[in-house]
Amino acid sequence: MAARKKQSLINLLPSEEFAGSTTGRALAWALSTFRYIVIVTELVVILAFISRFWLDAQNQSLREEIEQKQALIVSSSDFEKEFKEVQKRLTVYKTLTKDSLSFSKIFTDISTNIPDDVLLSTITFFETGLTIEGFSSNERSIVQLAVNLEKNAGYPDTSVASVSTNKEDPSLLEFSLNVALPKEGI
pLDDT in tens, 122-158: 988 887 888 999 999 899 999 998 898 888 878 888 8
**How is the chain split among helix, strand and coil, in percent rounded to 5?**
55, 15, 25
Report the distance separating Cα 139 and Cα 164, nearest Å.
10
Query: Which range, 17-26, 52-61, 119-128, is most confident?
Result: 52-61
- Contact (CB, 8 A) for 161 and 81: no
pLDDT of residue 25: 80
pLDDT band at 69 (very low <50, low <70, confident <90, very high): very high
Domains: count for the chain? 2
Q: Which of 98, 119, 149 is the last residue of a domain?
A: 98
pLDDT of residue 2: 59
| CATH assignment of the domain containing 147 | 3.30.1360.100
- Tell me whether residue 82 is exposed, middle or buried, using C-beta atoms within 10 angstroms of its C-beta: 0 to 12, 13 to 18, 19 or more: exposed
pLDDT of residue 125: 83
**129: containing domain:** 103-180
- Side-chain-side CA neighbours of 136 within 13 Å: the count stands at 22
- SS3 (DSSP) at 96: helix
Report the distance separating Cα 174 and Cα 131, nearest Å.
13
Domain identity same for 120 and 86? no
pLDDT band at 186 (very low <50, low <70, confident <90, very high): very low
Domain identity same for 28 and 72? yes
Of 24-28, 114-118, 130-134, which gets the smallest average pLDDT? 24-28
Q: Which of 48, 73, 98 is the last residue of a domain?
A: 98
Q: Which of 98, 128, 152 is the last residue of a domain?
A: 98
